[in-house]
Structure 1
Amino acid sequence: MKTVAIRNKDMYWDIAADIHYPPNFDENTKYPTIISAHPIGSCKEQTSGNVYGVKLADQGFVVIAFDASFQGASGGEPRSIEDPTLRVEDFRHVVDYLVTLPYVDEKRIGVLGICGGGGYSINAAMTERRIKAVGTITGANYGRLMREGFSGYNPIAALEAMAKQRTAEARGEPLHVDDLLPPSPEEARRLGATERDVYEATEYYRTPRGQSANGLNRSLLSHQAAAVGWDAFYLAEVLLTQPLMVVVGDKVGAFGAYRDGCEIIGRARSEKKELVVVDGWSHYDLYDKPEPVARALEKLIPFYQENL
């Protein structure tokens, strides 16, 4: 593995990324390459890199797992911005970097997105034609979530609060950063935050199982408005033509990945598309638990081999 800094030429900071190499890597050989995108509030050291990145590299792919701008080890100030437009632009900069590498076959670049990274991957592929195949693991449409559960099903009130906070910060008041999860599973139970996805997210991100100093699940309130008006699947019927594989668990939670998976499979213009339902497992099980990860990869590996 090698850690690199990718210059974001539009915004003047670097995107941090880890490149995972296949066994017996030869820099003089051209490899199919997969961009691996982390979930909302996560980082490259979590499921996108240390699980799927490693395992796909073992199967002969070069895999690049990157941190979103304003998050992880990537640059950008202020921190903890979750802006879908900027998240999608990150993919373009990663592709720009990949096509300069002698061992990357520019005609065989694919993408894999986990959770919110799945929605971003789908959206990026619609207009970034250098991406030739799209896979998602429990992919979620962050814009839908912001209009629904993440705003208490009152997006207008949420937008008013965001606008008020942005004005306050413009006038010099402190930043308001939302901590999106309870600090521990025990505290989640005490608070009654036991809905499947919320609790299991806490169990993953707030314990040694998935904890990382760079994967903090925080979001700057004043910069959330763009997400409320964004939709990962907008124009999928027209622009999403690449081969598509969507992997979800059948143990459904409030974040709605199963619902979003069914929707995008129905809407995508892609001629090759498949919904893979991993029976008996949930959204966060697919992040790192050996059995559901193996079942997802049983489908994804031949998908990328065929389409890259």
Structure 2
Amino acid sequence: MKKLTPILAIASILSCSNTMKAQHSQQISQQNNPYTLVYKGAITKNEKGKVHIHPVTYKLNGIEIAANVYTPANYDSSKIYPALIIAHPNGGVKEQTAGLYAQQLAEKGYITIVADAAYQGASGGEPRHTDKPAYRVEDIYGMADYISRFAGVDAKRIGALGICGGGGYTLKAAQSDKRLKAIATLSMFNSGKVRRNGFQNSQLNTIQERLKQASDARQQEVINGKIIYSGVANITDEEINKTETDLYREGYLYYYRTHAHPNSTFLYTTSSLMDLITWDATDQMELINQPLLMIAGSKADTKYMTDEAYTKATESVNKELYVIDGATHIQTYWKPEYVSQIVSKLSYFFSTNL
């Protein structure tokens, strides 16, 4: 399956990738939304008595971060609200599924924040599309920093939700950041494990080869400033149809077709693999002592990662594995019947534990 194997690309293909994805957004067009949100039911304007969206920026380690804060209906800054930080999937941006869950959880009474990762989306940072675990974890700390000072937020009641790769990074952040009082993941993806071993352990025989490739890429950055990328720059309908795994086939449809956004990309700097391959979201899971809810679809081909992480969370004071019957990984991002079930479960979990 050639599309699962990282490919090399030069920076110039980024514009081609973004153009193609925008052209193929068949069901939902970000051009029709002033906030460029691409999920169904997205806010198009702030109306009295409804959830409001507040685009914000802030500095994190000298990098400007672009984020959206959602406030509940009839929000009153003189009152006190619990808050949730939401970490987006790998390759995703705040305008996609992370924004969907931020909006719907705001409808349940939470102040929510979703930010584009540093070096990605509308946030700053060079080289673009750097995808290092330490940076993604720092992004979560940064969201907690910002939202804890937002008017009306009770800093003692902050929870976290991580989706896909954001789920793995949220688990890591929760190990050390005890400002996060309750932790939830949805369709958790262990980025380090997959970059090291391949999806479903399909690349165990090429770890050293890929580390050498990553090291060489970093050397190119140092010597002549050339940025080399891995990932999928673009894809045809035929290639999508031939993709065997649900995660990647449905993921290509989601990111390149139905919910495409010009800031979203499957590319990442090849040198990032030096950090990714040596990292694992489940290392030191016993440091999580907060309440923990892990959600995955029963048909998700990524569920093995949620199962492993859940088993290792031996010190969580209150943990639960919640399985969405019939759902695949990507279907939990958008399918209404699954989203409503997940939001109800998340709302109950956070209301009980915050």
Fold agreement, TM-score > 0.5: yes
Residue 184 of structure 1: how far off its partner (Å)? 3.9
Aligned to 1:152: 203
**TM-score between the two structures when normalised by the length of structure 2:** 0.81
Residue 169 of structure 1: how far off its partner (Å)? 2.3
Question: Does the alignment pair 1:260 with 2:311?
Answer: no
**Unpaired segments ≥5 residues, structure 1:** none
After superposition, give the CA deviation of every residue in 1:70-101 in whole Å (9 maximum; x if it has no partner).
Answer: 00011110100110011101111221112222
SS at match of 2:268: strand
**Unpaired segments ≥5 residues, structure 2:** 1-52
Q: 2:293 aligns with which of 245, 266, 282?
A: 245
Q: 1:210 aligns with which of 241, 245, 259?
A: 259
Q: 2:82 aligns with which of 32, 43, 46?
A: 32
Aligned length: 298
Ranked by relative contact order (alpha carbons within 8 Å, sequence separation 6 or more), the top structure is 2
Residue 266 of structure 1: how far off its partner (Å)? 1.4
**TM-score between the two structures when normalised by the length of structure 1:** 0.93
After superposition, give the CA deviation of every residue in 1:240-268 in whole Å (9 maximum; x if it has no partner).
Answer: 01111011001132xx2x11211222111
Q: 2:337 aligns with which of 291, 296, 305?
A: 291
After superposition, give the CA deviation of every residue in 1:3-47 in whole Å (9 maximum; x if it has no partner).
Answer: 111211x3x111111001111100111110000110001100010
Residue 188 of structure 1: how far off its partner (Å)? 2.2
d(CA) in 1 for partners of 2:220 and 2:96? 34
After superposition, give the CA deviation of every residue in 1:254-283 in whole Å (9 maximum; x if it has no partner).
Answer: xx2x11211222111102110011111100
| 1:35-114 map, 5 Å | 35-49=85-99, 51-114=100-163
Aligned to 1:179: 231
| Amino acid in structure 2 at the alignment position of 1:272 | N
| Amino acid in structure 1 at the alignment position of 2:319 | K
Question: Is the 8 Å Cα contact of residues 240 and 253 (structure 2) preserved in structure 1?
Answer: no
d(CA) in 1 for partners of 2:333 and 2:80? 29
d(CA) in 2 for partners of 1:272 and 1:14? 36
After superposition, give the CA deviation of every residue in 1:211-252 in whole Å (9 maximum; x if it has no partner).
Answer: 001111211112221011111111112x10111101100113
Residue 182 of structure 1: how far off its partner (Å)? 4.7
Residue 173 of structure 1: how far off its partner (Å)? 5.5
d(CA) in 1 for partners of 2:232 and 2:103? 28
Aligned identity (percent) is 37
SS at match of 2:347: helix
Return structure 1 stretches of 4+ with deviation > 4 angstroms: none
Q: 2:325 aligns with which of 274, 279, 283?
A: 279
